[in-house]
Amino acid sequence: MIRLTNVCKDYQTKAGPRRVLDRINLTIHPGQRVGILGRNGAGKSTLVRLISGAEQPTLGTIERNMSVSWPLAFTGGFHGALTGADNVRFICRIYGVDFEPRFEFVKDFSQLGIYLDEPVGNYSSGMRARLAFAISMTIDFDCYLLDEVMAVGDETFRERCKYELFEKRKDKAMLIVSHSHRYLRGTCERFLLFREGQVEEYDDFDDVYFQYKEMLGEAFESKEQMVAAMQ
Amino acid sequence: MPNNEPATAAPVGRLLRDNSWTINRRVIGALLIREMLTRYGRNNIGFLWLFAEPMLFTLVLTAFWTATRSIHGSSIPIVAFALTGYLSLLLWRNMPNRCINALQANMSLLYHRQVTITDIYYARIILEMMAATTALIVLFIAFFALEWMNPPEDVLQVLGGWFLLAWFGAGLALTIGGLSEKWDVVGKLWPSVSFILLPISGVAFLADALPPKVRDVMLWLPMLNALEFLREGWFGSAIKAHYSIPYVLLFNALLTFIGFSLSRQVGLDSSQA
């Protein structure tokens, strides 16, 4: 379980401190899949960073009794001078797990072949994304964080990612940030809409998406019309 | 479709169960290897620079000293003098250099729950310590084999002095590193400050050679005290050393305390960047 109690997060801006999240209370249970929607800058990624532990809240507490992944397919942790294999080794070392079987898996899954022995700095962004996703799948977490990741790679690779995540790991908790209705609908059972530092809870995708569209100024006249438009 | 899942999955909960000392050691070890690979590379040319630079310095100073022997008439063992001076400088000066803005360069590693900014500082400090110590040992063996320098008279005292310098460097690195995240200007000013400290921290002189009044002022520098102590261990009775070990211990302890607080603070505010 992950529990956020009265969590606030401020960032310094030139215009003074800005409260991005304001007294958020939230509990994520094991196995729950939570979809997150909101405008750019509404605090979605901030929440992901707080839950992953990369940042500390300004106020409030975060309890974690589940192991939480780093944001999936996150390429920022790679060092350009290190090879793909070195980066896998680094991850295995910090998580204290065996390298060999995981490297086999990464080789198999990323299909990067001989490029795994080349510096990551020479990779294309697509190759980087493949490597990052494959590495993310080598450590078993109770809760996975996905921040706008499914746009990576080609169609077949995306399908493999989907299978790896949502079929093999169906019992895991997930926090999924996305703007795509195709992606969130049917995947998540619970939705959070970020609005002005607050979080609104929804159980039904059509409800949350209707509100979200309205917030973006692309409102539909009714929910039925929206559902029809999405087909 | 890859389907070798159980083999690749770490046991659930293990990431939470390991105690924090085990995790710290694991993370610092991993960071150390990562730093080593990115700094020195896989081919050994990069690694050789570790020795080449202090070796060149020692040789140049020795040549200069020997050429001007008729002027100064000093009989000090110059190779050992230059080597201890320069490597001591490298030891305490490179640690802060490496910790300045270390957070900005490694922010993305903090997404891994068990990696903290202090781990990054420790890994960099340990790497510098290892680098300078390796250079000292390798160059000593080389110069000893060439009969250019004698072994230390008191190995323990040399180790003690080396340790005091390393400790000073570590405390300074945590302090400067922590301050540099708060105020950019600290990172910008540090190169100038360390440049000023270079000639006055005993790299190329013995405290005994200074006029007593100047010497009393200079001995406020803890690294000069520690270096004098180290050199007394190396040369023994050949030189008259001036130092106060209690002063160095007190200074180091204080600096380490400040460094710990500042670097911990960086971890807490890392979100502000």
Does A161 reside within a domain?
Answer: no
pTM over 0.90: no
Tens of pLDDT, residues A208-226: 888 888 888 877 777 778 8
Percent of chain B with pLDDT over 70: 86
- Token representation of residue B254: 């204080």
Of B239, B214, B229, B260, the C-alpha closest to B88 is B229
Burial class (CB in 10 A: 0-12, 13-18, 19+), A209: buried
Residue of B111, B116, B269 to mutate, interface with A, max A Cβ within 10 Å: B111
CB of A183 within 8 Å of any CB in chain B? Answer: no
pLDDT, greater one: A33 or B9: A33
Domain spans in chain B, listed from the N-terminal domain onward: 20-272
Q: Give the pLDDT score at B95.
A: 92
CATH of the domain at A43: 3.40.50.300
CB of B273 within 8 Å of any CB in chain A? Answer: no
Q: How many domains does chain A have?
A: 2
Instruction: Give the ipTM of the model, two decimals please.
Output: 0.79
Angle (CA) B168 B174 B178, round 5°: 145
Element (H, E) at A100: helix A99-110
Q: Give the pLDDT score at B6.
A: 41
Does A181 reside within a domain?
Answer: yes
Contact A187, A166 (CB under 8 A): yes
Are A129 and A195 contained in the same domain? no
Domain of residue A87 covers: 75-140
Are A226 and A148 contained in the same domain? yes
Are A52 and A37 contained in the same domain? yes
Residues of B in contact with A164 (CB under 8 A): 2
Are A29 and A81 contained in the same domain? no
Tens of pLDDT, residues A37-80: 888 888 888 888 888 887 888 889 998 888 888 888 777 778 88
B8 and A105: CB-CB below 8 Å? yes
- Token representation of residue A130: 């493949």
Instruction: Please give the average per-residue pLDDT across B105-124, as a whole number.
Output: 86
Q: Give the pLDDT score at B9.
A: 45
Residues of B in contact with A140 (CB under 8 A): 8-12
Q: Give the pLDDT score at B7.
A: 41
Residues of A in contact with B23 (CB under 8 A): 96
Are A148 and A63 contained in the same domain? yes
Alpha carbons within 13 A on the beta-carbon side of B70 = 1
In degrees rounded to 5, what are phi and psi of residue B35? -65, -40
Report how far residue B59's alpha carbon sits from residue B83's, in angstroms, rounded to the nearest whole number: 9
Report how far residue A109's alpha carbon sits from residue A84's, in angstroms, rounded to the nearest whole number: 13
Are A191 and A147 contained in the same domain? yes
Does A230 reside within a domain?
Answer: yes
Q: Give the pLDDT score at B5.
A: 41
Instruction: Share the mean pLDDT of chain B.
Output: 82
CA dist A184 → A155, A190, A214 (Å): 18, 10, 18
Are A119 and A194 contained in the same domain? no
pLDDT, greater one: A227 or A94: A94
Compare CB distances from A79 to B2, B34, B267 and report the shortest one's residue.
B34
Are A46 and A79 contained in the same domain? no
- Token representation of residue B68: 């001007």
A20 min Cα distance to partner chain B (Å): 12
CB of A159 within 8 Å of any CB in chain B? Answer: no
Asked if the model's pLDDT at residue A13 lies above 90, the reply is no
First to last CA, chain B: 41
Does A180 reside within a domain?
Answer: yes
Does A133 reside within a domain?
Answer: yes
Tens of pLDDT, residues B7-37: 444 444 455 556 678 888 899 999 998 888 8
- Comparing A93-102, B145-154, B168-177, B247-256, the range with the smallest average pLDDT is B145-154
Tens of pLDDT, residues A140-181: 888 988 887 666 667 888 888 888 888 888 888 999 888 877
Does A164 reside within a domain?
Answer: no
Reported residue count of chain B is 273
Of A91, A102, A83, the C-alpha closest to B109 is A91
Q: Give the pLDDT score at B107.
A: 80
Does A151 reside within a domain?
Answer: yes
Residue of B26, B107, B108 to mutate, interface with A, max A Cβ within 10 Å: B108
Are A173 and A223 contained in the same domain? yes
From A143, which residue of chain B is nearest by alpha-carbon distance?
B12
Are A146 and A230 contained in the same domain? yes
From B108, which residue of chain A is nearest by alpha-carbon distance?
A77
CA dist A17 → A9, A14, A21, A90, B159 (Å): 10, 8, 12, 36, 50
B25 min Cα distance to partner chain A (Å): 9
Residues 93-122 of A with CB under 8 A from B: 93-97, 101-102, 104-105, 108-109
Are A93 and A186 contained in the same domain? no
